Chains A and B, each alone.
Chain A
């Protein structure tokens, strides 16, 4: 299907199914409510076929350009049906699991993910492993009937809801750095896994600590080759910094429009509003170009760090303007709209931290795009 026709069909469907799709809560809603809403939108969109376009047929998709699924994610965000941060997870993990996992694994696991029946989480960061991902220590030992995993992950989003975990482990010697990493696809109901949610500043339990105590993982759940988990991670990270962000651009545009509508006459400074608009539109233009590059078969690499830096800058600038303009709502408002502005303002502070900090993105740009060499 062509993008133009898809756009029209999806828009028509979203109009027709609006009563079913609309959230049952006002404002931001609780995390539980938002997760249930996302599952519902996924199921309806999958059953109607729209959520299958842009994904390969081998995993239950209907084929076609990746722009199709990018459009769907934009459309459900512009209509305020889902929260991008939670909704975009299949965009981050799906393509790499398809590329590195065994065909039987992805054909079995992707359909329930895309239909919203299952949730995945991404077990990369550890207490001692943030920006320096190659230092991870969560251990995977070979046994006669599979891997035995012991260690700890942290900042693992949605892990208390997750059915599966895409996990990076240390299968080589302690000092093997990026050479001794193996990626595994782990069932979250495996014996030995404990999830301890952490409350964030915006009052949510969006991420957790995850403990692995001698957890058994079959060999056929290895993603890519043993010891080649770094390649898998390097495949995932550019998606986290690019395709998933297109939907975030849609959210920023929507909330910028909402800000204009919610502001009292004279409350918004025109020059500040103009500058934030330029920033948001520049980020969106960059992200749009990235979606097209990927659809044309281009590989995603270090240049996606530019998309991530632009997202963080424009999101924080937008919500700084929100905080200045709707100060009363953000600081002391108790209604659902105020609660949402406040939650989003606080969440925007994390934009320079999650998905690779502002600092590591700049290091990547300096080393791999400007040719400035290693920093040590």
Chain B
């Protein structure tokens, strides 16, 4: 376990790393810091600390792919994973006449040459395949957040090697927690930016932070963030996949609320590219769609409850 002073030092290193670096440069620093080893050693601390910092700094890295390969049990053969299509959390692969087809999204971790994992649903089990990234049918996407360097992957994959059955749902759950922390980190930073602005911006001879309409928006933002953080903690403690999905859905809904309130408080300034807010809004729009959108996860939860006539498991006091 990473605890006490060690945890604080590790967190401070991650804060610096994510503030100073992004993309491949951040991956290199994370390697130096031993983040991947930390992932094996204390999954919760490694995921919660890094992703909250990454979200707050608006940095990008290959950490989500590493979390997923780690959770799928194979960190040696590949360091990238094809993500499900936008909004979905099902495996991106399917087998048609024993041929692997894929429809999903690739992060910047999928390099022109290298390997990636594709998980495909086959009957009741999920099978993992290692593929050469060069053989993936990929198209670059700019979209709302071009800094993510995403690709759309759609078509048949030649030369895939099956490496066995995997627990996709469990891996998705860890990925959802990572995204949840990243969304919370981004939301907290948006709230800081809006609070700072509300104290500096003067209208009617006083900072706009004095106006209750502004104060209540910002208070609501903090409430939404803390609700998401509480569910993330509960999901780590109970280890139930459904709890992780609830936490991720809530974190994304909270992030959207944070974006709405903070952009309104920042007003014209927050609508321009001269203020950093827009980068956070772009990022959370995409993160919400990874491994299940809020709508997908929420409807799925409701359907599960109705189908089984039973509420999700309750974390005991």
State the A residues within 8 Å of B (CB): 3, 7, 67, 70-71, 74, 246, 253, 256-257, 260-261, 268-275, 277-279, 281-286, 288-289, 291, 306, 309-310, 313, 359, 361-363, 365-367, 369-373, 375-376
Contacts and interface: CB of A to CB of B under 8 A. Distances in A.
B215 A366 contact: yes
B231 A274 contact: no
A240 B55 CA distance: 34
Interface in B291-310: 295, 297-303, 305-306, 309-310
A285 B230 contact: yes
Contact of A282 (B250, B302, B310): B250
Given A260-B305, A277-B305, A365 B317 contact: no
Contacts of B230: 282, 285-286, 288-289
B223 A274 contact: no
B73 interface: no
Contacts of B250: 278, 282
B216 interface: yes
B234 interface: yes
Nearest to A358: B216
B306 A273 contact: yes
Secondary structure call for the B interface: helix
A264 B315 CA distance: 28
**A-B pairs with the 3 shortest C-beta distances?**
A270-B302, A274-B302, A366-B215
B309 A285 contact: no
Contact of A270 (B199, B231, B306): B306
Interface of B: 191, 195, 198-199, 207, 209-212, 215-216, 218-220, 222-223, 226-228, 230-231, 233-234, 243, 246, 249-250, 253, 295, 297-303, 305-306, 309-312, 314-317
A363 B317 contact: no
Given A277-B305, A281-B234, A363-B212, 7 more contacts: A70-B317, A74-B317, A260-B309, A366-B219, A371-B195, A372-B195, A372-B210
B317 A291 contact: yes
Contacts of A256: 311
A315 B220 CA distance: 16
B196 to A, nearest CB: 10
Contacts of B309: 260-261
Contact of B246 (A67, A70, A281, A289): A281
B48 to A, nearest CB: 14
Contacts of B216: 359, 362, 366
A291 B234 CA distance: 13
A194 B192 CA distance: 51
Nearest to B207: A373
B311 A257 contact: yes
A6 to B, nearest CB: 10
Given A306-B222, A362-B215, A375-B212, A269 B234 contact: no
A286 B301 contact: no
Contact of A271 (B209, B211, B233, B298): B298
B234 A278 contact: no
Given A260-B309, A281-B312, A373 B199 contact: yes
A278 B299 contact: no
